[in-house]
Structure 1
């Protein structure tokens, strides 16, 4: 196919979450035709999964400028930029109206199962860059489709692929068999059925990030409620507890994020959760009474628990990109140009240098991983990062390299050193939510 013909094809955006829809807005702003393929039944499907959670980013930080430009003529009213939306607010008051603007350019229940160069597997060099991308799509009704594209922006996120409980990165022995007692999401304790599952019971929370803080705060709130007597958390950490364990506190430039760590600390200090440190889960056994016993790699066996909440992070699904030539960091599974900027093994403070299309590029020209997916396994992502990423990428696809290279983004610091990072993902909405709202997920 001639280059001129390829240029007439749409840019396929995988995922209709915050970053994917922002990418779509920037493509439209550049005069480029987008096509959004969303696996879920609605825009922001991943965000809707944690609709009960309040973000620690304000409305002013989670509305993309190009998207707002498209929404303005529709009569859309921007929420108070100083207030904190919940995931449900974000989906209903911003993501859905934005998806409606794009109309049929957003296809729902459309799962991308593969991406390649048309007529070229990953081995073939001949005329590779002259071929359009071919995107294989499976629809909910069983219909399969092949879509040709001039470029592909993968904003599918990592929400669908949570990491397991096992300390080795693999599922713990017995983890799959105990699936009926394990969740990999922060539970919605406003749902009566979910609340009954945890009220008055012992629950192990595995993880040390913001989502774990969330679960601890939720369980502490439940423990002090009329229907929650006897509720107890067991906080399982792979590391020890240090001064940075609970985040930046009052020094955090995102006040709500700092308050989240303080809420988790309060839960432990008040005795609503017991901390178990240096524990790497090797197995999850079911006791004779049906309760679960966590077994560590060092042989330690914890007291039985009723439920387990696994919040050990997320990882990218790269299976449908297997025919593309990507260069990914061997640890983070993030683009190699970006990985050094976000590697939690190297960065001690929650800052990320400005980056755009160059750091997100691959040997396969015209394909970009953006948003949460671009960070691979690194727990350091904020929505505003994704918005700047896709602004740069859209400009690069349009050939406006001057704009694409002009990346200016200053992210708020955590105020803590030792690997706390910036993680915009589901977190708790406790009794003090109005004063100290929790964080929220960028999703994709």
Structure 2
């Protein structure tokens, strides 16, 4: 065999190992999304099982996604230090244990502890998968891989809608959540045994001095990432695009479709699944597009946000308490595109951050969408309780919380988009390279 033929063979083998490793890593993320969104179809069951109100139900999501958002930056730092394999194994073990606890306990306080642990395990997954992919795929393939990762997560969402709803209905609460827990524990063994990871063992922390130096290094990484306009733009893209679709996917989608739109529980699950399937189908095309034409990625994200906000305003203000089913279904399916559109945020993080701190930057960006989701999930619960009960009328006005949060994020997205363009134009004028060349428009900021 000649050297010229051996080199392509090695390159092909490397690509195959990269794809295999990504597939194994992303399977943990798929399970994390299944666990995360399981209350989207079990919310009404949870109210009955634990004897709780809508606001108390919202606390499950507040706690689960709150700890998820809070751990994104530490996760980014940890994956930079310890590598994705170690974090994915820990994530699978913690999520499996949390779902076992949630399946078994009848007590609301202990169930809250289970969702807290579930959020902690979930927090370790997505950024770890992105870190693995960023080190093994080039800049043109990376957006596609990120979109495929998001699409795979949506398969977990599909599994958490209709199939999980059927299991919960026919096999019961304990069996349904127990099976989900067992699969996560099996995934931990598979990742530990099979996932390639060349991250060297981190130097152990010895004494208070090492600990203080480590904390100082974390803050330096976070400040450095946050100081970059591209990271800020990524944060607000994630915040605005992901907020409404995730809040309805993990908690309020089924109650709204049943109580406000008049669908059956199975019909609501079907609508949510259609949205997930539509978003999953759009993900590869969107990933390919933003990888080959990065100039369109922020305008696409902005368009999805604006149309979603407009769609909800029409639904709330024009159709009162009897919204047409066709319009509601179309809105839910379109709203789900916020998921794949939010993946744009991680391409921005990769463009503007050094590879050795990419995990930290991705963690910073990932906080955005989950912070917005927590605000919406909790805010809708408070708004419903303030009006007395979960009815069509109370939900109609409560969803304006989602509109307000997404609108705020969209304004910030627009501001930072203009600032990033100004930053890029300034660098281009002095002959410095920029990740995405910009052509000046009349609406650009001066500078």
Give the alignment's TM-score, normalised by structure 1. 0.26
Q: Which has the higher contact order (CA 8 A, sep 6+)?
A: 2
The structure that is helix-richer by fraction is 2
Give the alignment's TM-score, normalised by structure 2. 0.26
